[in-house]
Structure 1
């Protein structure tokens, strides 16, 4: 036994050093000290000497640069440069455009939770809260979504006027240019609130405050452009749109066929150097009503008028609508959510170089400009829209499920409905936390490239799932369109958010992990840059430093992943209270597993990894749910750790952990190199998969929160428009919940007495009369039951129409024209 002790001591010290990420010299010192101590305590002398020799054999070449650099690092650098996948200019710009926030910690395998928890709680300024409580609330009260979506297929004039007058198009424009100067967080809150009443209104307001002329001008515009255009955009004199998407390239700006040729031309009576544009764009929101078009195109200078470069590259320009050659096409009709959207075309449209965003200095830099601004817009508009819809679905569906009764029981009491209610609540809680986290990152000055894709993909997916479950619970109430239906248009519109700003399939399979694996990794991008340094000596030294940092990082994550799997992540330091500490430990485990899987995949697959979209998508799911769970824990801490929120947090957290384990196990079972997959499985899941989906008991608690008045429900509803008014049936139904709960005991007492009586009255009013006469209920309780009946009728009623009301205007136009022809 004394022979094995030195080797066991060395193994334990090595594992502990790797787990805690101790420096190599510290590991050697502790290992040597432990071996000496073991020998002094009776371990075999020979075994101790052999173990010490093994330690020295491993440590000396690594600790001495004179040996390590020429014998180890140089050959590895040569091999690395041979397998390093070439980065296109497009990929390089995309990687360098964003910043790395807490998502980098999640990729580290050892997250610094203090970095997350020390971030200030997202809060609004006084003027921002006043805008939400004033003009935003007023705009929501004005919205009649049925009139917008069915009668007009547009906002009524008074809404357009209100939006412009109150500077909704200039929310992000700085105050010095006449805008509101709202932060990204306030922008998120506004869009979230509007989305709860109308996706058409939220889109109309959201797009000008997302990727478009205002955002681009603020970052890159010349002072002259800012001074002229930003005040006009802020007060609605200019209505903007941005033309990126086309028939042949979708949203891939690097492949667009639209082009501009540098040439001489006439502008405002002068002969100037400019660009002659030819373009064909579609799916452009606000194009039918826009007065100012932002345009992405590829710029060429065949005659060398502005330099030696013929293909200048992707460039962005501002094109006034009334410019000769610009043609605004007819409207698209997006899935019964008729926000203003349509094609724009142009043939040989001349504009001067002064109309390029940023002027001539930014010619050819359009891709970088787009990538940087896309991460801002993608972080806010669509996630906020999805969050608002999910929160509305949760709050109102919970009330409806309590009010609506079948078989004498609220439908929310049926376990099948409870499951759906729990999913709605969990998705709304997660989407709310995620969308706010990404908006807060932008508000802190970050360019969250990876979080923006996570937020866009998962918020819109969770929003769609919440809409689906809400439709299932409402049944016929949800499918009969009309002014009383507050779900149907949202359900129809949910695929729009899934599709725009990059289809979700591509976002998941290419972008989340594809960017994250390089941008968020603590060593990969540094290694890639080191390997391309021009000076050979500096290249070798920098590569050496980053390579061995990466090797130690990989070993540590392998050990941490195995240890966490072995112990079920029940051991280890973690922040939080007694309730949440276990959650942080679980995230430590999956962070280590993700880092291990990412390193192994990049090492063994190299450039082929970008084509392994299923593997990339699954690893992206792990990163995404790590980020989502982190956002939920941060929200819980920011709210003061409310005990009543614990079922919502628990359901959402366990759902994310379950999905992480499914993604990891699927990635491992389908790993392209099977023996490596088996080895990784033993490290990640030494006892097999253990995480389960949220239990029925937890689902029952979560669903119950939606069906009764409580502070957790109120927090979930915070930020959406629930004011009961004629145009807001969802707000009315939500407002009924406290009265319904108070009336239920009276209702049960009355129905029980009625069942045990022999009265013959069939009419509800007559039954109430009898109940008062017989003393079953008091006169005051009768009023309660009458109010309950009225609230129930309002909740379950649907619309009906005359046949002519459902026919389009085109139907009548065609009949009138046919009658005219017959008369002639």
Structure 2
């Protein structure tokens, strides 16, 4: 009999025995559970307690509440936020020239002044401190729109509004610190950076060797209690130009001036960069991007204890500060950069496929090009849906660490796929640097997004499921806390109650999973009817498969599971694609089920379902031996799950919708502003003229094809001849000549 059947029978027996008041957990059995369940270090426990859960818990449960999901309001901007975008942001975009910024390795002085004056560094600061107090949705939208024009400027704006002094002060600063620093940060008088990464402390921030010793020292002529700091940091964005340094270090109290503990833990402080001993200025070159990035050092630098964020009460609380604030940054900034890049690619690539012709027809008519263009549009829809939804969670005062890790990892990876497809289609146009190339600078910047705020390898292999299995499970985290935080005799009763509920939950999900496998989830509940109904049913199915697979993995591997990174990463992929597909369907509903968007919606959801079930297959194949893997798959989907990548028919429908519906194309690329000059404007204008003159061009091409006498004539002369022979009218010829002028400008590249 298969392993899973035995497990189900065992759970049913346990439930029956427990229901007649036999106690399952005794003191001796507590030892087994304590060894079987994963143990959490102090830093892991603080990280999990600092964040919270959201829709990820529903997806992990095996029974997502779709009605609750749809009841969440559609994301929106306030009138004030929209007015800022329509005026001040538009003006900023008109000021930006990314090619020149990269050549100068800096933003122009006028741009720096404008950013400070108009509050671009003050999105998260409350109005009472002089900030704009924008929503996460507005913050994300603004950064995304800037990223579609200038990645260097987007990163410059992103950092002060993400993890940094303002965020930490708002949550943990004393009133005096807030009153002192926040108005300066809001006005731009103080430009912040935050220094965390060091030579041997990257993804493992807890291993930083930078330190501060509690001691008495002199400040402003008086003896005061403080810290003597030594640090050396690298990769710090804005460090070369910052006027205030947020610094993470480990605090020690060898003389026990603050109490009885010598190792106080990670601590965060704010230090003016003009303070004696603080060194900033040496720059890195992040793939030729123009934003400021560099190093900071200090040796034996004394600071008053009041400079610690939270003052003395904040000493040793830095890790909790960092993990609680970092998840919000992951959910806003990096998804915004990815969305800006994806919108740029979709807007320009859909235009280029109509403007660029080969073999006498637009290249968008070729199915090979359509396959790539459909992927660009479908994944862009998914990226935008996830960006909006994740920012919305933060606006709901959630701090969902797993959700933001999913958004950070998958959106940066999907934007890389989108960009690669866009460059494939643009071919030579995409690889020649210069003012006419609107893709190359964003292409160079993509690895930066993938690297920062937790490298993607770490995020996928350790965070998404490593935290998700424990944090999102309805019982595991409580069970671990009960065992770890209570004496064994006191833990027996509450743990017994939790374990029984856990087993009942797992048993129901196992039965449901097998039922879905037998029926293909055809009778699973869906909150909607119509073309997307089947997607909800399959997501229910995949959710139940994830739930039982996670239970089996934890049952068999226990605490060892978090060290089996390849296995846990695949379960994380399942959870991730469930979330991404959920965001797509939510956006489709909140946008009013736009028919022109349906092909892109279907493409995105089918892609995520296929990826989710593929990850599940790979997990099972590597988790169990072949016979057990075969049985598991047959029980979970006895007739097969039928989830494949989008077919050719859907690919053609996506491309047709982009070509035929201006509204659909606008919705999937609206973050890319066209403007009235520059390469983006040139391509968009050429696209519009090409569509407007398509019929004339077809008539002209048919007339000129095969005519030897027109070979030596210029295009203008050919058009004049076509007018003479009454193929075109004077008005049509004028339109065609204008369209051709812009077409040539659009497909041309820079020469030096």
Fold in common (TM above 0.5): yes
Matches within 5 A, 1:137-536: 137-150=90-103, 152-532=104-484, 534=486
CA contact (8 A) 1:171 1:179 kept: yes
> Aligned residue for 1:729?
679
> Aligned residue for 1:774?
725
Q: Name the CA distance, whole Å, in 1 between partners of 2:86 and 2:741.
A: 30
Q: Name the CA distance, whole Å, in 2 between partners of 1:115 and 1:240.
A: 40
Q: Name the CA distance, whole Å, in 1 between partners of 2:25 and 2:395.
A: 45
CA contact (8 A) 1:246 1:282 kept: yes
> Aligned residue for 2:691?
741
CA contact (8 A) 2:213 2:253 kept: yes
Q: Name the CA distance, whole Å, in 1 between partners of 2:14 and 2:276.
A: 74
- 1:604-626 deviation line (CA, Å, top 9, x unaligned): 10111111111111111000000
Distance 1:730 1:296, change over 3 A: same
Kindly indicate whether residue 634 of structure 2 is the aligned counterpart of residue 699 of structure 1.
no
CA contact (8 A) 1:396 1:731 kept: no
- 1:692-730 deviation line (CA, Å, top 9, x unaligned): 1100110111123333442211111223322232xx312
Q: Name the CA distance, whole Å, in 2 between partners of 1:73 and 1:627.
A: 39
Distance 1:107 1:354, change over 3 A: same
> Aligned residue for 1:755?
705
> Aligned residue for 1:49?
none
Q: Name the CA distance, whole Å, in 1 between partners of 2:495 and 2:395.
A: 35
Q: Name the CA distance, whole Å, in 2 between partners of 1:250 and 1:72.
A: 42
Q: Name the CA distance, whole Å, in 2 between partners of 1:651 and 1:780.
A: 41
Q: Name the CA distance, whole Å, in 2 between partners of 1:263 and 1:467.
A: 53
Q: Name the CA distance, whole Å, in 2 between partners of 1:708 and 1:334.
A: 40
State the Cα distance separating 1:535 from its structure 2 match: 6.0
> Aligned residue for 1:27?
none
Higher mean alpha-carbon deviation, 537-546 vs 246-255, is at: 537-546
Query: Of residues 776, 792, 800 in structure 1, which corresponds to 2:751?
Result: 800
Decide which structure has the larger Cα Rg and report it. Answer: 1
- 1:146-199 deviation line (CA, Å, top 9, x unaligned): 11012x111010100110000101111100000100011110111110000011
Determine helix, strand or coil for the equivalent of 2:282. Answer: coil
Determine helix, strand or coil for the equivalent of 1:473. Answer: helix
TM-score normalised by L of structure 2: 0.96
State the Cα distance separating 1:293 from its structure 2 match: 0.4
Aligned length: 744
Distance 1:526 1:227, change over 3 A: same
- 1:38-79 deviation line (CA, Å, top 9, x unaligned): xxxxxxxxxxxxxxxxx9x877632233xx22x555554342
> Aligned residue for 2:70?
117
State the Cα distance separating 1:538 from its structure 2 match: 5.0
CA contact (8 A) 1:263 1:275 kept: yes
- Name the structure, 1 or 2, with higher relative contact order (CA <8 Å, separation 6+): 2
CA contact (8 A) 2:153 2:291 kept: yes
Kindly indicate whether residue 42 of structure 2 is the aligned counterpart of residue 89 of structure 1.
yes
> Aligned residue for 1:790?
741
State the Cα distance separating 1:123 from its structure 2 match: 1.1
TM-score normalised by L of structure 1: 0.88
State the Cα distance separating 1:633 from its structure 2 match: 0.7
Distance 1:340 1:347, change over 3 A: same
> Aligned residue for 1:549?
501
Q: Name the CA distance, whole Å, in 2 between partners of 1:634 and 1:98.
A: 24
Determine helix, strand or coil for the equivalent of 1:260. Answer: strand
Determine helix, strand or coil for the equivalent of 1:318. Answer: strand
Q: Name the CA distance, whole Å, in 2 between partners of 1:111 and 1:73.
A: 34
Q: Name the CA distance, whole Å, in 2 between partners of 1:400 and 1:483.
A: 16
Q: Name the CA distance, whole Å, in 2 between partners of 1:735 and 1:474.
A: 17
Q: Name the CA distance, whole Å, in 1 between partners of 2:567 and 2:551.
A: 13
State the Cα distance separating 1:409 from its structure 2 match: 1.1
- 1:225-284 deviation line (CA, Å, top 9, x unaligned): 101110100111011000000111114221000000111112122211110110010000
Structure 1 portions without partners, runs of 5+? 1-14, 19-23, 25-54, 802-824
Kindly indicate whether residue 86 of structure 2 is the aligned counterpart of residue 133 of structure 1.
yes
Q: Name the CA distance, whole Å, in 2 between partners of 1:63 and 1:553.
A: 15
- 1:525-563 deviation line (CA, Å, top 9, x unaligned): 121123245366652221122111111111112111122
